[in-house]
Amino acid sequence: MPPALGIVHVHSNYSHDGRDSLDALARFAVERRIAFVGLTDHAEDFSEARWREYVAECARASSDAVRLIPGLEFRFADFSGLHLLAFGLTQWIEPTTPDEFIRLASPASRATALAHPILASYEIPASVRDGIDAIEVWNATYNTRYLPDPRAFRLLHRIQRARPAVVGFAGLDQHDARNDRETRVLVHETQAHDPLGAIKRGQFENRGRTMRFDAVRGVGGAPLALLYVARWCYDRVERVQDVMVRVLRSRRGES
Ligand SMILES: [Zn+2]
Ligand SMILES: [Zn+2]
C-alpha cells in the first residue's frame, strides 16, 4: 500500500457553520488524491439519531478512493476556547466536561486531540494534559496556512516530558472547501489501512505550504527559535496590513 495522504479537522454541513456536503468533501479529496478525511463536526449540532445518520452518510459517501471518517469537536461550558476532537469516533458520547471527554472519547475513538491551543490561551486542564493523544500544533485557520504555532510546539514538548507518546499534527479546521489551506498529514504506507490509528501512534508526517515536520519530534531547537521569529514578524506584518486596510477604507468613505 502506498503512503496515505489525509486531511484532519474538517467540518461538513452537519456543522452549523460548515458549507460542504459529505459528497462535496469526497469530491474535494479525490481531486487532490487525499485518501482519508478525519471529520470533526461540532458535537453541539448533533443528537444521537443525527449522529447515526451521519455515520451512515459518511460510509455512503466514501469510496475506494477516499474514506470519510466520522468524528466530532466538543466544547464545554466554563472552558472558553477549549475544543477537543474525537477522530474516528465509533459511538455517540455526550461529555459535558473535559474530564468526561477524556474518559468517554479515549476508548470510543481512534485518537483524541486538543484543537487550536491558542484559543484556550494554552491553558489546558490537567485531565487533558494527562489523557489527550495529540495536539494541533498547526491549525491552518487560526494560525494561517503559512506558519504553525511555535507556542503550541512548546506546549507539546512540555506534555511530552511526562507523556512521550503525545504527537503534534497539522489540521485544516476547514468549513468551506473553496478555501483549501493546504495542510496535510501523510501516514506511513504500513499504516495506510488505519490512518487515524497511525495518527495516535505518531506514524505520520505533517506537511504544509511552508514546512514539513515529524509528528513526534515536531519542531524544536534552533528551527523552533527561528519559527518564533518568523511568527512574530508575520503577525506584525499582518497587523500593519489590517491597519492599512482600515485606513484606506475610512479614506474611501470620506471621499
Ligand atoms: Zn474549534
Ligand atoms: Zn473546528
Ligand located closest to 173 CA: 2
CA atoms of 68 and 84, how far apart (whole Å): 19
Tens of pLDDT, residues 208-223? 998 999 998 888 888 8
Q: What is the pLDDT of residue 3?
A: 86
d(CA 4, ligand 2 centre) in Å:
22
Ligand located closest to 79 CA: 1
pLDDT digit string (tens) for the chain, length 255 residues:
678 999 999 999 999 999 999 999 999 999 999 999 999 999 999 999 999 999 999 999 999 999 999 999 999 999 999 999 999 999 999 999 999 999 999 999 999 999 999 999 999 999 999 999 999 999 999 898 989 999 999 999 999 999 999 999 999 999 999 999 999 999 988 888 899 999 999 999 999 998 999 998 888 888 898 898 888 988 888 888 878 888 888 877 754
CA atoms of 76 and 115, how far apart (whole Å): 13
d(CA 10, ligand 2 centre) in Å:
7
For 74, half-sphere exposure in the C-beta direction (CA atoms, 13 angstrom radius) is 27
Ligand located closest to 11 CA: 2
Ligand located closest to 76 CA: 1
d(CA 8, ligand 1 centre) in Å:
13
d(CA 248, ligand 1 centre) in Å:
32
d(CA 73, ligand 2 centre) in Å:
6
Tens of pLDDT, residues 36-57? 999 999 999 999 999 999 999 9
CA atoms of 221 and 166, how far apart (whole Å): 18
CA distances from 185 to 45, 145, 154, 237, 246 (A): 27, 14, 20, 28, 36
CA atoms of 58 and 65, how far apart (whole Å): 14
Ligand located closest to 119 CA: 1
Region 4-219: CATH code? 3.20.20.140
d(CA 254, ligand 1 centre) in Å:
38
